[in-house]
Structure 1
Amino acid sequence: MKTVLAVRHVAFEDLDSFAPVLAERGYAIRYAEAGYDDLTVLNPLADDLLVVLGGPIGVYEDAAYPFIHDELRLLRTRLEAGRPTLGICLGCQMIAQALGARVYPGGQKEIGWKPLTLTEAGRHHPLAAFADPTSVLHWHGDTFDLPAGATLLASSDLYPHQAFAWGRGALALQFHIETTARGLERWFIGHAGEIAATPGLSVPMLRATTARHAPNAEVKGRQCFAAWLNHVGL
């Protein structure tokens, strides 16, 4: 059976709308819980697809979270082999770091719904599903330098590096196209502290903008993911 390994950092940031796309294609999904499961026993090349999901920590916080070293080693082996790999938000930053780029605090939070600006390469990539002004969910405060040899695919008004491809098999997305309106209700609880500490944010405001933007973004997110799976031969 075809398999997907998803590395998860907090329980509520999961594959969400991507899971049914994978199930329809006959993939069995399993999660490795970062900081709880032993990542050193995982075979980096065993699964057809590796997905590294988001979370509220920084890649540079390895002194506090030593498992980050194991996660980066897992990614380096996977990337060097050219095996299909997807990173979302923290996972995107992990891929950047694994490829030798710097990850660091961005200076301001980017949380909420707004559109992307695609590069020329992005308009010829599965991300082209978002070429029309379609707002996606941003939820991060860190950013990264573009790794050597990477192809920039998308930017936002606050951060120029929002998505990149590396080789044919790796895709890194700083934003979230895997989320659903229902799934985000768990985020509003899990990230309550961050929401309360960020000026201009509130749960009612996020819920209202989610109701407005999520239905269209969910459809395009699944389309983009399915097209990317085809792109990498999955």
Structure 2
Amino acid sequence: MKKGLIVRHVPYEGIAGFREPIEAAGYDLDRFDVTDPGFWQLDLNAPDLVILMGGPMGVYELGAHPWICCEVDRLARRIERGLPTLGVCLGAQMIAAAMGAEVYPGPVKEVGFHPVTVHSDSPVRHVADVPVLHWHGDTFALPDNVELLASSDAYPHQAFRRGPELLALQFHAEMGEDSRFESWLESGADYAVQAGTSVERLRAEHAALGPAAAAAGRAMIGEWLGGL
């Protein structure tokens, strides 16, 4: 069986709805938290698939999170080898940094469910016109030699790919049916208010829009994995 590794930056941001299509594609999944003592020895080239999830920290916050340099360096070596890699939110920003692009604070905090504009006939087309969850305030320059796949009004770089093996998603199409969303609301209540929304509104959006978002996310990842 193929091996998949989830790199988790905070306990409440797992692969959620992406688990089903990844396991259906034949991957036996393991998980490593960046706070685990053995993270410094982790070989990111070993798994058949690496999935980098989100987190509230910034790629540029190296002093507060020393593991970031370790992750970016090892991720760069994986990307150079053309090994299948998926990044979500912070994970997408990590991929951009590992490819030499700048990651920096964006113009606004983008939080809530809304659709992205899809630019090409890629697996990301499954989320076209589907409100998906956004929860970030950072962005990145587009790395060299990649294809831009999606944008939003506030953030032009919402998704990109390089060949069939690399997919970076700024938005959270894995979320919509995961009970851990309550942990997001609990830990990010102030952040939501700063973004111009509220816990109550986000909870209502999650209930109304989450199932369709998660279904679109599963279809997207299933097609992407089928093309590896």
Asked if 1:225 is matched to 2:221, the reply is yes
1:173 to 155, 169, 172: 169
Deviations, residues 125-167 of structure 1 (Å, cap 9, x unaligned): 1111123x11111100001100011110000000111100023
Give secondary structure in 2 for the equivalent of 1:68.
helix
Give TM-score scaled by structure 2 length: 0.95
User: Which one of 127, 133, 137 corresponds to residue 141 of structure 1?
Assistant: 137
Taking the aligned partners of 2:154 and 2:190, their CA distance within structure 1 comes to 23
CA–CA distance in structure 1, aligned partners of residues 214 and 126 of structure 2? 11
8 Å contact 1:106–1:143 — kept in the other structure? yes
Deviates more, 1:55-64 or 1:200-209: 200-209
Q: CA deviation at 1:220?
A: 0.8
Residue number in structure 1 paired with 2:86 = 86
For residue 32 of structure 2, give the secondary structure of its aligned residue in structure 1. Answer: strand
Q: What do you get for the CA RMSD once the two structures are aligned? A: 1.4
Match of 1:114 in 2: 114
Q: What one-letter code is carried by the residue in structure 2 that aligns with 1:222? A: R
What residue is the counterpart of 2:47 in the other structure?
47
Gaps of 5+ in 2: none
Displacement, 1:81? 0.4
In 2, the alpha carbon distance for the partners of 1:184 and 1:207 equals 8
Equivalent residue for 1:192?
189
What is the deviation of 1:36?
A: 2.9
Letter matched to residue 125 of structure 2:
A
Report the CA distance between 1:118 and its aligned residue: 1.0
**Structure 2 residue aligned with 1:71:** 71
Q: Report whether the alignment pairs 1:214 with 2:210.
A: yes
Offset at residue 168 of structure 1 (A): 2.4
Letter in 2 for 1:136: V
Counterpart-to-counterpart distance in 2, 1:127 and 1:172: 10
Distance 1:214 1:59 in 2: 28
Q: Structure 1 counterpart of 2:209, which letter?
A: H
User: SS of the counterpart of 1:17?
Assistant: helix
Greater Cα offset, 216-225 or 18-27: 18-27
Quickly say closer, same or farther: Cα 1:19–1:37, change in 2 above 3 A: farther
> Where do residues 1-40 of structure 1 align in structure 2 (5 Å cutoff)?
1-40=1-40
1:214 maps to amino acid: G
What's the TM-score, normalizing by structure 1? 0.92
- Report how many residues are paired: 227
Residue type at the aligned position of 2:143 = P
Counterparts of 1:137 and 1:52, CA distance in 2? 17
Structure 1 residue ranges, 4+ long, deviating more than 3 angstroms after superposition: none
Q: Deviations over 1:86-109 (max 9, x none)?
A: 000000000001101010000310
Q: Contact 2:106–2:139 at 8 Å: present in 1 too?
A: yes
Unaligned runs of 5+ in 1: none
One-letter amino acid matched to 1:83:
L
